[in-house]
Chains A and B, each alone.
Chain A
């Protein structure tokens, strides 16, 4: 067996272990030289990304392949039938999310090089940064409920410390405190739900749980508590109030990785709903008064309602916001709304036998939008960070005429603006079109609201573009220069991917999104991969 095969075999463990090791080596390397430390961190992230790509290649080469990695043993279930071993299970959905996290991590560390240069305490900054990356990958790849909770907490502790990184600003600390309160309560809710499930089935393994689940009354409580906890972490209205603060006050490079951490929670919700509960959602009736209603329908309608509120509130708050980064953060709330709109729409239809592909299409749109949102919103945050770096201004009222001094940043902002508001030929258009189409088949009103809010989002960003980049030259900004190369490079990487996906959406959908959709809809495959090995 050659080394590449070995790497692929152990890749799920390595993807988490390498950033974790790197995180704790960073302070040591930092003693030698600052530049060496930056190179070391970028090397760690690139190495991790290479392993993710190897694993992705392995997963995609065989359709429907699931890579199961059991820690400390060969089979997931021990003698006597105890499913207590920790395992990582990687299928199309996991690797899809891991690829998103990879892009964000690479862009984030490259951007940090110049953006954070003038700060002190950078050894701690990079340690926490790598810890978030490790936690994020852990959340995405794990196949064990309790393990998911642990990685969730690692991610939230590290991100909280980074949100409050600029401790000279009171508002940043306030944002960090809000974030840790919400995320630790959310995580405790998740742990409570895990405990309910463990109490009934003696298992923590997602696949074993999905196999054994009976859909008792307690399971329904656990599902509700789980979704509440994950919705808190994912920033869905009415638990969104931490998100604009955290996104807006954190350094831009941190915000980028926070977008990934938020989406990892969204992934958790998808995994719980569709894989753990998926098999029994459709044939479980729920009695409300005298009416029997399918649970998946109930859950779907509930999620769609939440999604519409999320989109509305996100867009409306973005309209009246004056702080650049907080405004983008509200737009990010709206974008999360689009994803869960598609997921909710899919839930109502995907399990029914008479479904003619609407559910699968909605799922495709929703998952594709997760990728696109990470890139679009991420790029906008990086641009906002670049403007802050160059001018030290955050309020839109005091900006103006920057297109003269910062022409590359202006172009990147224009790309992000068009992408986030769903304009062709950017990637946001491709995924939003699928979401409109599929939600139209569920209920036309949904797609009308979605399109309307998308237009409002365009209005918001055109306003920003006008007030920050156009307009008369301001003498205060005469000295403003284009941002350093590393920041341009990070923005350029994301902008290139945005344009590439926008031009060839089918290529991405067929090769990356479709396997993820197959993985979600086919949970028996996921189960048999673990149970079959007894």
Chain B
């Protein structure tokens, strides 16, 4: 059971995030939702990195138990994914600033409705 808690957290994070994106009208809340989904996926990747009876992949000379180490690929993936996430977050927030300047509101249902 204790091993499954991270997976439950992953599913919960992703579902909460999707709920926020689909049902919330405030742009900032939509962005928060996306960030939640991203955290869920990152947590999933990190959780996958651990295999039963494995040790942290820290190489300490000839005495290291190399074959017992968990493969550090998911950590690398998570780092990349976090960096990408920050870029997306920054871009979204800057777009929101521009949208707010144009429409003076953060309500998604009032944005982009004007006649041309």
Contact = CB atoms under 8 A, between A and B. Distances in A.
15 contacts: A153-B87, A160-B91, A170-B102, A170-B111, A171-B112, A174-B111, A175-B112, A177-B99, A191-B81, A195-B44, A195-B74, A198-B77, A199-B48, A202-B71, A323-B116
Contacts of A188: 34, 37-38, 41
A192 B14 contact: yes
Contact of A84 (B73, B80, B102): B73
Which 8 A-B pairs have CB atoms at the shortest separation, nearest pair first? Answer: A174-B112, A170-B102, A199-B48, A177-B95, A153-B84, A173-B98, A184-B88, A192-B41
B96 interface: yes
B45 interface: yes
Given A173-B98, A173-B102, A394 B116 contact: yes
Interface string B10-40: 0000100010010000010010001001100
Given A84-B71, A170-B112, A177 B84 contact: no
Contact of A184 (B27, B34, B103): B34
A404 to B, nearest CB: 25
Interface in A173-197: 173-177, 180-181, 184-185, 188, 191-192, 195
A202 to B, nearest CB: 7
If over half of B's interface residues share one DSSP class (helix, strand or loop), that class is named, otherwise mixed; here it is helix
Contacts of A395: 116
Interface of A: 82, 84, 146, 149-150, 153, 157, 160-161, 164, 167, 170-171, 173-177, 180-181, 184-185, 188, 191-192, 195, 198-199, 202, 204, 245, 323, 394-395
A173 B95 contact: yes
A245 B113 CA distance: 12
Contacts of A184: 34, 38, 88, 92
A150 B34 CA distance: 17
Q: Range of interface residues on chain B?
A: 20 to 34
A246 to B, nearest CB: 12
Contacts of A153: 84, 87-88
B53 interface: no
Given A153-B84, A199-B48, A176 B95 contact: yes
B114 interface: yes
B71 to A, nearest CB: 7
A185 B37 contact: yes
A181 B89 CA distance: 10
